[in-house]
Amino acid sequence: MCDDCFGPLDVKYDFPNITKNTFSNREYTYWRYFELLPIEEKSNIVSINAGMTPLVKADKLGEKLGLKNLYIKNDSVNPTFSFKDRPAG
């Protein structure tokens, strides 16, 4: 939101200079996508390295629910073993 008029902000990306290789060799956190996030300086990033947790296929639960492809997000690998770390990144 704009601080002056409280209107929406327009997002502008430098897509011609952003490729899959831009992100592939970086640490596996969501900060690897820095160029796509609303942050101007990398020095402003504070992180507890949460997020980017794995999806685990839940075959038995999926079978009971009649779902062929059920996946569960495993947030127990976050620093405090909880989904509550996710907003803190």
Residue 21 lies in a domain: yes
- Reported as a single tens digit per residue, the pLDDT across 9-22 is 888 888 888 888 88
Using CA atoms, how far residue 6 sits from 1, 13, 20, 40, in Å, is 5, 22, 34, 20
Report whether 71 contacts 79 (CB < 8 A).
no
pLDDT at position 51 is 65
pLDDT at position 61 is 97
Residue 5 lies in a domain: no
pLDDT at position 17 is 85
Higher pLDDT: 40 or 7? It is: 7
Residue 43 lies in a domain: yes
Task: State how far the Cα of 77 lies from the Cα of 86, in Å rounded to an integer.
Answer: 11
Residue 6 lies in a domain: no
> Could you tell me the residue range of the domain that residue 70 belongs to?
15-88
Residue 81 lies in a domain: yes
- pLDDT of 42 above 70: yes
Residue 9 lies in a domain: no
Residue 10 lies in a domain: no
Answer yes or no: pTM beyond 0.75: no
Identity of the amino acid at 43: S
pLDDT at position 82 is 63
